Chains A and B, each alone.
Chain A
Amino acid sequence: MSRFFATGSDSESEESSSADEITPKATGTTFSKHIVCCPLRFRFEELTNIIKTIRNAMKIRDMSKCLEEFEQLYRAFLKSKTIVDKEGVPQFYIRLLADLEDYLNQLWEDKEGKKKMNKNNAKALSTLRQKIRKYNKDFETEIVSYKEVLNCSPNDEESESEEDEESEDWGSDSVDSGGESEDNEGAAASLAVVFLKKYVCFNLELLSLFLFDGFKRKRHKKMEQVDEEADEEGEGEEGGWEKVKGGVPLVKEKPKMFAKGTEINNAVVIKKLNEILQARGKKGTDRSAQIELFHALAGISNENNLGEGILVKIKFNIIASLYDYNTNLAAFMKAEMWKKCLECIDELLDILFENSNIFIGENIAEDSENLAISDQPFRVRGCILTLVERMDEEFTKIMQNTDPHSQEYVDNLKDEGRVCGIIDRLLQYLESKGSTEEVCRVYLRRIMHTYYKFDYKAHRRSLGLQGETKSEQDQEESEGEDSAIIMDRLCKFIYAKDRTDRIRTCAILCHIYHHALHSRWYQARDLMLMSHLQDNIQHADPPVQILYNRTMVQLGICAFRQGMIKDAHNALLDIQSSGRAKELLGQGLLMRNMQERNAEQEKIEKRRQVPFHMHINLELLECVYLVSAMLLEIPYMAAHEFDARRRMISKQFHHQLRVGERQPLLGPPESMREHVVAASKAMKMGDWRTCHSFIINEKMNSKVWDLFPETQRVREMLVRKIQEESLRTYLFTYSSVYDSISMATLSEMFELELPTVHSIISKMIINEELMASLDQPTQTVVMHRTEPTSLQNMTLQLAEKLGGLVENNERVFDLKQGVYGGYFNRDQKGGYQQRQNYQRGGYRNQNQSSY
């Protein structure tokens, strides 16, 4: 068994055959090389590599490294469980375990040395010691036997220690020396094990060991000879051995894909493919070389016209290994890798389109694949949809990891077109071939790439503008249907056919977003209300929640553009009031201390971020929110100036106002917030012109309003709203000063038409907000002057409070009575309440009489 541990070739050589002869048939298995020896060798190579590092770490007393490696070793050993079961526990493994335990115990005893150790190491030492103790229990017999071997044959030990050193640099050593030393130990070990199994008697065992020792030494010499011969032969035949690194034996052989003269057919290529695949995911496998290998293989199969089936298979593998290239999930693809990946997928799709007789699917078993050219259609295992989805994710990752203000970002963004193209092609392909579920998935991908883009063409078309030049017009026509129609079609398909809730939820949200983006407020709102997403969105996963938040925000902004201030405010309230809009929209992380969020969480959160080109402008969002809050809050404040129980409509807006008030020196507004605060102050006085000039000016235009597609319309709406709300505020604030006021004056003051003024005032009167009546013949508002003054308001409040006080006092009195007179115990409830009622009534009567 041990023969193949470190031999680095997969093609046949004399050496292995000679080894076959020499190796005692300890396990009694005969193996054909290609099937058994590959996994065996890989597994054991992995183990020996780790052991090597452990020994190195032991030498430099690096306990933490030791612990780490030991854990890896343990895992690797578990992986090779099947082989171990078949072949028995490898001797080198046992040896390491025993040595390590001894070593650790020795360290443990050495108190002085322990003190000198740094904290990490000391900690690692104790954990490692415990672990290995526990672990070694499973291998007790083997270790004991090993130790006996050591004790009984000092000679042997010596030789082994020599071998130790040898084996430590297996990796860089030449193949034959590695093989040789390995062989010796292996043989010795396996023999020992066999003997142990057979003879329990200690004496016998000793005897055998001594005997064996002699035998081994003889054989050792013989071995060397054989090896030398083999070497020479090898040189003669293959033109020189290449020195092979322990870890990656396959890669270096790459140029020699197939032996000369081998007839290249399907079976050979597939075998080779599998061989390469074996190395996938292993530690120490050179991933870039693997990709090249696949490419070469693809080239070979192309040259030899092996048919599309095999090509598709290889392409699948190329793309998969491209994805594998980064082991870290957070890392993103390098540019050239990404390009390659795109090309590959494109080519794959080309092939698939050209050859309609290829069936692909993830549920086609490896065995039932049909790759050879025959009458039957090709059957290839693999899922193109998954690959494309993965590609899309990689694209997102690339965008997330690029600085959004660099040229690089723009360059990367150009690839978006290609990504969309690929998704489109896949969509066409799957529409004809895929199952509904797959179609739903690819539709969702398509939607995800469409929903956040504003369709300027459709916008222009709807405005009735034709493209200026003829060529542009042509382009427009050639570019096909409106995104709205596409969205509608795709989403409706998903609504009808999708069975997983998640895809449907995403589709609905995207659909709403798209509607909102294109100012189709009523459709968007109805869809949102019909979906009932508000009720259960908190159970969704974070990416969907982020999408939901984005949609709500877009909905709010849309409502604002349509002049539905109240709706806009309500939609934005949740996001804005938390003060974490940035985080909720997935547009950046908030600065927080590490206690609240460890590095792991931060990574996860980073992965959720929305790429920059999909961001919603946060300043626009805040401005829209604040302006709508202003339009609602200022008249409300004016109306309820003296109300003690006045509620705030928007806490955030009040906060901004307070911040503005706290400023010691009030200069002209600079930021957007200051503009809104200044405008609010003007509005409080009913001065709509100043308010207007603060909200709509050069600065605000460039910062906020110009970001809307229909800037002019929005601005007009805004001016009108400001006029109306200012009028209301003015009437609330100053009604007490007027006996009557002519509506003509008001309409002149606020530059509103008379009917509008009339309607606003009528509404206020109906809602009992304004105590006044309209005098029709003279077109004036006559104030009733029933509003209490501030002093009166305050007195009312005081009266209320005193009422409460009296009530509380009564209660104390009641209790006293209860305690002394037994009143309370007799009928607790009735008596108490009766008294209460009586008292309240009395108090009210008193109040009324005093008014």
Chain B
Amino acid sequence: NLPFFITCLVVLKIIKHYQEEGQGSEVVQGVLLGLVVEDRLEITNCFPFPQHTEDDVDFDEVQYQMEMMRSLRHVNIDHLHVGWYQSTYYGSFVSRALLDSQFSYQHAIEESVVLIYDPIKTAQGSLCLKAYRLTPKLMEICKEKDFSPEALKKACIGYEHMLEEVPIVIKNSHLINVLLLDLQEKSTVADKHELLNLSSSNHLEKSLQLLMDRVDGMSQEIVKYNTYCRNLTKQQQQKQQYLQRRQQENTQRQSRGEPPLPEEDINKMFKPPQAPPRMDTLLIAGQVNNYCQNIKAFTSQNLGKLFMAEALQGHSS
């Protein structure tokens, strides 16, 4: 998987967008613009989707995007629609909505990616920007729109294989590099680093809460699936019994020399129960995995800090 390049401008614009419009658990979204150069993607610009309320019916999103891109072309900016970005709240982004829209992007332009920007982590000092694409397997499934348990089993898809992360390289033009270096000399902030700060347990609590919520969702899905399985088994049994009876009767009739009973459509009599779609479960599993990764990263970092602090204390005393 080749990394793709992204300019500093895009990053700053995304951050700015969230700062201005996003708050709390609200997410902001926007369009990424760029070019495909030698089967490598370069993202050079972006623009946000405007916030609009649901009762604002007149607003046409597609119209707006087209208009925006045309305007950008006039000022000689890359206008190829290569993906979209979205902010996230404590790493919760694996959802049906994301899946659907990314599918439609990828379906139209194969190279499209989704950039996930985590403002909370970024606020803590480490820029968190990740790019994802749907795996070809998932693309196949989505194309067929068949989320039944059998189809998923056949496709051999697990939550691990749903999204693939694409490495990002932030690349600037030389002019910008020069500017940055110039700024670095002037800036006064960078001296003090709160390296040992145990970022508050608030973060952990929030993550746990969200995780719990998803685990609940998972339980529900499993219960649903469980009932389905049980119903299916019961019906299978009934069907079997019915067939047996039928056969017995037929043999009796044969022995009496009567014609056998006419064949009936067995599927009509025993309509198999509606299988619950399994895609949601997959998504939840993916999300849970995501949270776990987050928590793991967070705790290991903190543990490391704790050990370091302990060692320092022992050393000084």
Enumerate chain A interface residues (CB-CB to B < 8 A): 790-791, 794-795, 797-798, 801-802, 804-805, 808-809, 811-812, 815-816, 818-819, 824-825
Instruction: For residue B177, give the distance in angstroms from its CB to the closest CB of chain A.
Output: 43
A804, B225: Cα distance in complex, Å: 15
A809-B220 Cα distance, complex, nearest whole Å: 11
Residues of A within 8 A of B216 (CB): 801
Which residue of chain B has its CB nearest to the CB of A798?
Answer: B212
Chain B: CB-nearest residue to A818: B233
Q: Which residues of A are found within 8 Å of B164, using beta-carbon distances?
A: none
Q: Are B222 and A815 in contact (CB under 8 A)?
A: no
CB B278 to nearest CB in A, in angstroms, measures 12
Point out the residue from B208, B223, B230 that lies within 8 Å of A795, measured CB to CB.
Answer: B208
Q: What's the dominant secondary structure at chain B's contact region?
A: helix
Question: What's the nearest-Cβ distance from chain B to residue A160, in Å?
Answer: 75
Do B215 and A808 have beta carbons less than 8 Å apart? no
Partner of A808, one of B205, B212, B219, B236: B219
B211 at the interface (CB under 8 A from A): yes
Smallest CB–CB gap between A673 and chain B, Å?
29
- 20 pairs from A and B in contact (CB 8 Å cutoff): A791-B201, A791-B205, A791-B208, A795-B208, A798-B208, A801-B215, A801-B219, A802-B215, A805-B215, A805-B218, A805-B219, A808-B223, A809-B222, A811-B226, A812-B222, A812-B225, A815-B226, A819-B229, A819-B236, A825-B237
Verify A801–B226 contact, CB threshold 8 A.
no
Q: Which residues of A contact B275 (CB under 8 A)?
A: none
Contact between B211 and A798, CB atoms less than 8 A apart: yes
**Would A808 and B226 be within 8 Å (CB), given that A791-B204, A794-B212, A797-B212 are in contact?**
yes
B209 at the interface (CB under 8 A from A): yes
A801 to nearest B CB, angstroms? 5
- Among B209, B222, B229, point to the contact of A805 (Cβ < 8 A): B222
A801 CA / B213 CA spacing, docked (Å) = 10
Q: Report the Cα distance A662→B93, complex, angstroms.
A: 29
Tell me the minimal C-beta distance from A193 to chain B in angstroms.
75
Q: Which 8 A-B pairs have the closest CB atoms?
A: A808-B222, A815-B229, A794-B208, A801-B215, A805-B219, A798-B212, A812-B226, A791-B201
Q: B223 contacts which chain A residues (CB < 8 A)?
A: 808
Of chain B, the residue at the smallest CB distance from A794 is B208
Is the CB–CB distance between B233 and A819 below 8 Å? yes
Q: Which residue of B lies closest to A789 (CB)?
A: B201
In Å, the complex CA distance between A790 and B209 comes to 11
Q: How far is the CA of A183 from the CA of B218 in the complex (A)?
A: 96
The proximity string for B residues 284-301 relative to A, scoring 1 for CB distances below 8 Å and 0 otherwise, is 000000000000000000
Besides A801-B212, A804-B219, A809-B222, 12 new A-B residue pairs in contact (Cβ under 8 A), listed by A number = A791-B201, A794-B205, A794-B208, A797-B212, A798-B208, A798-B211, A798-B215, A801-B215, A808-B222, A811-B226, A812-B225, A824-B233
Complex interface: chain B residues within 8 A of A805 (CB): 215, 218-219, 222
- What residue in chain A is nearest B230 (Cβ atoms)? A815
What residues of chain A lie closer than 8 Å to B219, measured between beta carbons? 801, 804-805, 808
Q: How far is the CB of B238 from chain A (nearest CB, A)?
A: 13
A811–B222 Cα distance when bound, in Å, is 9
Centre residue among A812, A818, A819 by max chain B CB count within 10 A: A812
State the Cβ distance, A489 to closest chain B Cβ, in Å: 64
Please report whether the interface of chain A is mostly helix, strand, loop or mixed according to DSSP: helix
Which residues of B are found within 8 Å of A819, using beta-carbon distances? 229, 233, 236
Q: How large is the interface on B (under 10, 10 to 19, 20 to 34, 35 or more residues)?
A: 20 to 34
Residues of A within 8 A of B212 (CB): 794, 797-798, 801
Instruction: Report yes or no: A790 in contact with B222, Cβ–Cβ below 8 A.
Output: no
B positions within 8 Å CB-CB of A = 201, 204-205, 208-209, 211-212, 215-216, 218-219, 222-223, 225-226, 229-230, 233, 236-237
- Give B218's nearest chain A residue, CB to CB: A805
Nearest B residue (CB) for A801: B215
How far, in angstroms, from A794 to B213 measured CA to CA in the complex?
Answer: 12
Bound-state CA distance A531–B226 (Å) is 51
A815 touches B208 (CB 8 A): no
* Chain B residue at minimal CB-CB distance from A811: B226
Distance in angstroms between the alpha carbons of A805 and B211 in the assembled complex:
13
B219 CB to nearest A CB, Å: 5
Taking the closest CB of chain A, its distance from the CB of B209, in whole angstroms, is: 7
Whether B218 lies near A815 (C-beta < 8 A) is: no
Contacts of A790 in B (CB 8 A): 205
B3 vs chain A, min Cβ distance (A): 36
In the complex, which residues of chain B have a beta carbon less than 8 angstroms from the beta carbon of A791? 201, 204-205, 208
**Across-interface contacts of A815 in B (CB, < 8 A):** 226, 229-230, 233
Contacts of A818 in B (CB 8 A): 233
A795's nearest neighbour on chain B, judged by CB, is B208
Q: Which residues in B have their C-beta under 8 angstroms from that of A812? A: 222, 225-226, 229
Kindly list chain B residues whose C-beta atoms are within 8 Å of the C-beta of A825. Answer: 237
**Residue of B216, B229, B237 with most chain A CB atoms under a 10 A cut-off:** B229
Q: Report A-chain residues with C-beta under 8 Å of the C-beta of B226.
A: 808, 811-812, 815
Q: Which residue of A lies closest to B222 (CB)?
A: A808
* Distance in angstroms between the alpha carbons of A794 and B211 in the assembled complex: 11
A residues near B236, Cβ cutoff 8 Å: 819
Nearest CB on B from A822, distance (A): 11
A644 — nearest CB in chain B belongs to which residue? Answer: B212
Contact: A794 with B215, CB < 8 Å?
A: no
B131 to chain A, nearest CB (A): 30
User: Residues of A contacting B225 with CB < 8 Å?
Assistant: 812
Q: What separation, in Å, do the CA atoms of A802 and B223 have in the docked complex?
A: 14
Tell me the bound Cα distance from A790 to B201 in angstroms.
10
Nearest CB in chain B to that of A802: its residue: B215
B222: chain A residues within 8 A (beta carbon) = 805, 808-809, 812
Residues of B within 8 A of A801 (CB): 212, 215-216, 219
How many angstroms from the CA of A658 to the CA of B204 in the assembled complex?
Answer: 27
A631 to B212, CA, bound (A): 33
User: How many angstroms from the CA of A794 to the CA of B204 in the assembled complex?
Assistant: 10
How many angstroms between the C-alpha atoms of A811 and B219 in the bound complex? 12
Question: Across the two chains, which residue of chain B brings its CB closest to A815?
Answer: B229
Specify which chain A residues have a CB less than 8 angstroms from the CB of B208 in the assembled complex.
791, 794-795, 798
Instruction: Provide the residues of chain B in CB contact with A804, threshold 8 Å.
Output: 219
**Cβ–Cβ < 8 Å partners of A824 in chain B:** 233
- Which chain B residues border A809 with CB–CB below 8 Å? 222
B-chain residues with CB within 8 Å of residue A811 when the two chains form the complex: 226
The residue on A at minimum CB distance from B211 is A798
Residue ID in chain B nearest A805 by CB atoms: B219
Contacts of B201 in A (CB 8 A): 791
Residues from chain B with Cβ under 8 Å of A816 in the complex = 229
Measured in the bound complex, the distance between the Cα atoms of B233 and A825 in whole Å is: 10
**Complex Cα–Cα for A841 and B225 (A):** 25
**How near does chain A come to B222, taking the closest CB pair, in angstroms?**
4
What's the nearest-Cβ distance from chain B to residue A807, in Å? 9
Q: Which residues of A contact B218 (CB under 8 A)?
A: 805
Closest-CB distance, A549 to chain B (whole angstroms): 41
Nearest opposing residue in chain B for A809, CB measure: B222
Could you say which residues of chain A place their CB within 8 Å of the CB of B233?
815, 818-819, 824
Chain A residues with CB under 8 A of B229? 812, 815-816, 819
CA distance A819 to B204 in the complex (A): 42
Smallest Cβ-Cβ distance to A790: which chain B residue: B205
Q: Shortest Cβ distance from A42 into chain B, in angstroms?
A: 71
Taken together as a complex, chains A and B put the C-alpha atoms of A72 and B223 apart, in Å, by 67
Within the complex, the shortest CB–CB distance from A818 to chain B, in Å, comes to 7
CA distance A825 to B209 in the complex (A): 41
A702 CB → nearest B CB, Å? 43
Query: Which A residues are in CB contact (< 8 Å) with B237?
Result: 825
CA distance A819 to B226 in the complex (A): 13
A794 to B209, CA, bound (A): 8
Give Cα distance in the complex from A816 to B236, angstroms. 13
| Cα–Cα, bound, A808→B222 (Å) | 7
Interface-centre pick from A808, A809, A819 (highest chain B CB count, 10 A): A808
Question: What's the Cα separation between A757 and B309 when bound, in Å?
Answer: 42
Docked pose: A795 CA to B208 CA in angstroms: 7
Q: How far, in whole Å, are A141 and B237 apart by their CA atoms in the complex?
A: 75
- In the complex, what distance in Å separates the CA atom of A824 from the CA atom of B236? 13
In the complex, what's the smallest C-beta–C-beta distance from A642 to chain B, in angstroms? 11
Residue numbers in B under 8 Å from A802 (CB-CB): 215
